[in-house]
Amino acid sequence: MRLLSMRGVSKRYGGVQALSDIDLDISAGEFMAVIGPNGAGKSTLLNVMTRLSPLSAGTIALEGVDIGSLPTDSIIRLGIGRIFQSGRLFTRLTVIENVMLGAALMGSPSLLSTVLPGGGSAQQERELRERSAAMLGEFGLEHLAKRTIDSLSYGNRRLVELARVMVAKPKLLLLDEPAAGLNLGEVEALMERLRRLRDAHRLAVVLIEHNMGMVMRLAERVAVLNFGSKIAEGTPAEVQTNPEVLRAYLGEGYETC
């Protein structure tokens, strides 16, 4: 079943064409990767999907609902969650407070006061805390609930980011280089975690990642961008042998044998 559909999506920053006429479909429960050289437009693609950058042209629909002009908070509540390349946790808050804040921000704006000192009712805070604690348990992070973010390893911080997004029950998870800064063991653990999340929640995942080993092992389909245009789409095996993709990565001097 088609979950998200993009047609003719373009984004211009002044005289720079960051995205040009992108068509892309994402199915429910699908693992899709978006790859390409630096500056290809990958993060910009996620930005227009979440309205951090408004579209210059084209349409984006989530389950048939046009989201191209909706504010970011409405898009999040409709079911799109995102992990950024650079972590955006509140380092002086505890792990569970970060997840609670994420649940409030990504759920209903009226819940935000519940996380703040003196805000919301005791029942609201208890329900939000229980919901967040349950998600930490799913990630095996319950023992870190009262620790502040600045006391955690980088790998655990990334897991807290995932927990904070997942507590809002997204249908589509956008990951911008989630393996950046992780060691080999942490990358393996992250891949297994993403597989379990996808299977348990029938979650669609769009992955931007420079770790090609991770991409080829996780993705069922790969889209390749170069200079803001989609130059290829297919299975990992198909993309790996596509001459245009190889030229994009290796340069114009590349020639097929």
Read off the DSSP letter of residue 140. Answer: T
Q: For residue 236, which phi and psi values (nearest 5 degrees)? A: -55, -40
CATH of the domain at 34: 3.40.50.300
Mean pLDDT calculated for residue range 182-201: 90
Q: Is 185 exposed, middle or buried (0-12, 13-18, 19+ CB in 10 A)?
A: exposed
Q: How many domains does the chain have?
A: 2
Listed residues 127, 150, 167: the one ending a domain: 167
User: Which has the closest alpha carbon to 4: 45, 47, 94, 65?
Assistant: 65
Identify the pLDDT of residue 214.
92
**What's the token pair of residue 119?**
């805000």
Distance CA 129, CA 114 (A): 10
| Residues 61-71 pLDDT 10s | 999 999 988 98
Listed residues 167, 194, 226: the one ending a domain: 167
Residues 175 and 250 placed together within one structural domain of the fold: yes
Domain assignment of residue 17, yes or no: no
Residues 182 and 248 placed together within one structural domain of the fold: yes
Q: What is the CA radius of gyration of the chain?
A: 19
> Would you say residue 256 has pLDDT above 50?
no
Please give the C-alpha separations between residue 252 and each of 56, 121, 141, 244, 249, in angstroms, as whole numbers: 30, 62, 47, 9, 9
| Residues 137-155 pLDDT 10s | 989 999 999 999 999 998 8
pTM of the model: 0.88
Residues 176 and 139 placed together within one structural domain of the fold: no
Residues 239 and 121 placed together within one structural domain of the fold: no
> Would you say residue 107 has pLDDT above 90?
no
Residues 159 and 215 placed together within one structural domain of the fold: no
| Residues 25-54 pLDDT 10s | 999 999 999 999 988 999 999 999 998 899
Read off the DSSP letter of residue 230. Answer: E
Residues 176 and 244 placed together within one structural domain of the fold: yes
Q: Which percentage of the chain shows pLDDT scores above 70?
A: 89
Distance CA 74, CA 112 (A): 15
Confidence of residue 112 (pLDDT cuts 50, 70, 90): low
Distance CA 218, CA 193 (A): 11
Identify the pLDDT of residue 95.
94
Q: Which residues form the domain of 137?
A: 93-167
Residues 179 and 154 placed together within one structural domain of the fold: no
Identify the pLDDT of residue 54.
92
Cβ atoms within 10 Å of 249's Cβ, excluding its own: 13
Domain assignment of residue 7, yes or no: no
Read off the DSSP letter of residue 38. Answer: T
Residues 70 and 181 placed together within one structural domain of the fold: yes
Q: For residue 65, which phi and psi values (nearest 5 degrees)? A: -95, 125
> Would you say residue 72 has pLDDT above 90?
no
> Would you say residue 193 has pLDDT above 70?
yes
Identify the pLDDT of residue 131.
87
Residues 123 and 99 placed together within one structural domain of the fold: yes
Domain assignment of residue 2, yes or no: no
Provide the CA 176 distance to its chain's centre, in angstroms: 6
Scan for tokens 């609930």, then name that residue: 145
Mean pLDDT calculated for residue range 215-243: 94
